[in-house]
Structure 1
């Protein structure tokens, strides 16, 4: 589980709320939560959606330390 995405969800209120703020579907947020890679084009939107409470550095660090359940998964 990606704890940085979990933190962002808690700040936004729900997976759906975070998804709307970032411009993706709720299923994409769920995939991120479960370890899917986050495309770089969404990182600044995630930071903005959390009013900076989740930083770019936290997101990048979480991606470097997580291993997806399915390494062949495509990034959203």
Structure 2
């Protein structure tokens, strides 16, 4: 998802609502996270041999800039 798409979707909600993220773990059920902030980092992205996404944090000269949402599971 692009930042502009997230902004568009969020703009349709009540701006006073708290924001959470839900991850539906197949083995353990849904886990809820509180959105604690947003930031940018420079990263290299790739896929492992089994097709999983991999992200490596690098210096600005080595990678591309991406947006990240910081979440916490204790709130």
Structure showing the higher helix proportion among its residues: 1
Normalised by the length of structure 2, the TM-score is 0.27
- Kindly name which structure, 1 or 2, has the bigger radius of gyration based on alpha carbons: 2
Structure showing the higher strand proportion among its residues: 2
More RCO (CA 8 Å, sep 6+): 1
Normalised by the length of structure 1, the TM-score is 0.27
